[in-house]
Chain A
């Protein structure tokens, strides 16, 4: 999966006026997705924390 993210280029203020539009022109770089995830539900979070505690003691 490719994610397109616009990243501000490092352009000095002197160059800004030439474009007359945005400060940095625009540079669109494509990124590959490595990982994504969402938070646990309250119940899942409690279970995960309990598991951490349990196995931390066992280690």
Chain B
């Protein structure tokens, strides 16, 4: 079951990692990125854009999920954001960057970045959503049943 409706299995995920300059706030980031995303949504929904999200480093590092040592609060709390977008193909993503209306907005967003901008494209290997309560009960029951049979 796909997490993202309409996302093709050979689609591409791009991740921009943004580290905010000290003189800018998360509000600045939200405003400039929202303007950029609105442009992409308007002009590239029919040329490969599928969707996306923006998330902000909350400062929490999972002790349970980390194996590189005792986790402490991330020093990037509140200043590192990931802009994640989903595209039908890498070529379509690249074409979107060449758009005349996109570039000025992109440059405004880049002004916020302490780290320049790193945009890496990833191939989707897997995505999924949680079971419904009923599906989860059925899956748990199946596990129990076949664990005993093994």
Contact = CB atoms under 8 A, between A and B. Distances in A.
Interface residues of B, number: 39
Nearest to B15: A5
Contact of B66 (A27, A31, A42): A27
Contact of B56 (A27, A32, A52): A32
A4 B53 contact: no
B81 to A, nearest CB: 7
Given A29-B61, A29-B74, A3 B52 contact: no
B33 interface: yes
Interface stretch (B42-50, B103-111, B140-148): B42-50
Contact of B55 (A21, A31, A42): A31
Given A26-B68, A31-B56, A38 B51 contact: yes
Chain B contact surface mostly: mixed
How large, as a class, is the contact surface on chain A? 20 to 34
A33 B44 CA distance: 23
Contacts of B65: 4, 6, 26, 28
Given A25-B68, A26-B66, A39 B60 contact: no
B82 A32 contact: no
A27 B57 CA distance: 13
B5 interface: yes
A30 B62 contact: yes
A52 B42 contact: yes
Contact of B58 (A30, A41, A52): A30
In order of increasing CB-CB distance, the 5 nearest A-B pairs are A28-B65, A36-B53, A31-B55, A38-B51, A25-B68
Interface of A: 2-6, 9, 11, 19, 21, 24-42, 44-46, 48-49, 52
28 contacts: A2-B58, A5-B55, A9-B68, A21-B67, A25-B68, A27-B68, A27-B71, A28-B65, A29-B60, A31-B55, A31-B56, A32-B56, A33-B54, A34-B29, A34-B30, A34-B54, A34-B56, A35-B30, A36-B52, A38-B6, A38-B50, A39-B6, A39-B41, A40-B42, A41-B45, A42-B45, A45-B42, A49-B43
